[in-house]
Amino acid sequence: MTTASQVHARVPVRAEHEYDVLIGTDLLAELPALVGEAARVFLMHPPSLSARAREVAGTLTEAGYQVVTEELPDGEQAKTAETAARCWASLGRAAFTRTDVVIGLGGGATTDLAGFVAATWLRGVRVIQVPTTLLAMVDAAVGGKTGINTAEGKNLVGAFHSPSAVVCDLTWLRMLDAVDLRAGMAEVIKCGFIADPRILELVESDPEAALVPDGPVLTELVERAVRVKAEVVSADLKESSLREVLNYGHTFGHAIELHEGFRWRHGEAVAVGMVFVAELAHRAGLIDAELAERHRHVLDLVGLPTRYRAGTWDALRTAMSRDKKTRGATLRFVVLEGLARPTRLTGPDPALLEASYAAISEGSDDD
């Protein structure tokens, strides 16, 4: 017997078209209505979700849809041109048309790839994102940024392609390893620093409750983080200005990911990236030491890293030069000039950058 859906919230996003982010529990029954009049569904998923994919496919098949499933490599290994080409071949063999629907079932890597495949097949078909990790629910699956990686960097090839719906079923967070749940909290905490300080208060008041899958505190945190992203995306779909604030901590974080060969989780790298830009903003005279230290405190409470290896600055600096926010040879960072007051710092003095790196390096005097 199918458990009745419990929709906690519907968060509207106004992009090139309006769509809803559904947040709740046991939301599988919502999918057929979201797929609508399509004849075929292309369901993309990682190997770890094969059983869940069969469950989703069964629900859609019973509703009368033809379902084609595509198993992807795990994690960031899926986000390659070769995997995208394999998906295009499958779509071609299935005679997939513009009225059909792609579904991305999985974490951020899966939803990034599913969105990119949908954006590029027949110059754009509908995609429904069904994120199964906290990171994907509050970040990757919402907003329409899609992409794949190259040897030169992360997400350098992609497209803006908004989903027709996002289904955040918090029940599925029970399947997550604790380390993955913690990693997802980095993007939640990011939203607290750039826009909604209540998020920080909720984490600080009861960090253990914040990490209970589908518990009331985490449910509120997810809704608040999604509303932050929805508001920003609705105002700036294509990252022309305002949307860059969502990349708080990401310039340095992406550099760590690249330097580590993507062996670090995205949220872990972003956590360190946020501490780095907090140190940078403090040294640039934009925020006080207390707010900079609050970054370490909140991230420590949920078990996220706040430091990185010493002796890697040259490699990280080179990786940051390839960041999408860089203009020519000039680095640009999203920083704070106060709590929930993000701004940009362009071309900071190299001495400030190196001092900020030293402050977050393992073995520094701040340890």
pLDDT digits (tens, 9 = 90+) for 126-178: 999 999 999 999 988 888 889 999 888 778 899 999 999 999 999 999 999 99
Residue 116: closest CA among 151, 86, 94, 71: 86
Residue in the block written with tokens 């362009």? 346
b/e string for 187-218 if b means 16 or more Cβ within 10 A?
bbbbbbbbbbeebbebbeeebeebbebbbebb
Q: What's the full length of the chain, in residues?
A: 367
Residue 118 covered by a domain:
yes
145 is catalytic: yes
8 A C-beta contact, residue 142 and residue 222: no
Tell me: do 220 and 294 sit in the same domain. yes
295 is catalytic: no
pTM: 0.90
Is 78 annotated in a binding site? The answer is yes
Residue 153 CB neighbours (<10 A): 18
Choice among 52, 224, 250, 259 that is catalytic: 250
Choice among 126, 161, 190, 266 that is catalytic: 266
Tell me: do 114 and 255 sit in the same domain. no
Residue 87 covered by a domain:
yes
8 A C-beta contact, residue 45 and residue 53: yes
Q: Determine the Cα–Cα distance for residues 343 and 338; give it in Å rounded to an integer.
A: 9
Residue 365 covered by a domain:
no
190 is catalytic: no
Give the pLDDT of the chain (367 residues) as one tens digit per residue: 456 679 899 999 988 789 999 999 999 999 999 999 988 999 999 999 999 999 999 999 999 999 999 999 998 899 999 999 999 999 999 999 999 999 999 999 999 999 999 999 999 999 999 999 999 999 888 888 899 998 887 788 999 999 999 999 999 999 999 999 999 999 999 999 999 999 999 999 999 999 999 899 999 999 999 999 999 888 865 555 577 899 999 999 999 998 998 899 999 999 999 999 999 999 999 999 999 999 999 999 999 999 999 999 999 999 998 765 555 568 999 999 999 999 999 999 999 999 999 999 987 555 4
Is 74 annotated in a binding site? The answer is yes
Q: Determine the Cα–Cα distance for residues 211 and 202; give it in Å rounded to an integer.
A: 11
187 is catalytic: yes
What range does the domain containing 117 cover?
Answer: 6-175
Tell me: do 198 and 170 sit in the same domain. no
Tell me: do 92 and 140 sit in the same domain. yes
18-25/6-14 β-pairing: antiparallel
266 is catalytic: yes
Residue 338: closest CA among 193, 189, 232: 193
Looking at the structure of the chain, the number of domains it has is 2
Tell me: do 223 and 342 sit in the same domain. yes
Tell me: do 168 and 183 sit in the same domain. no
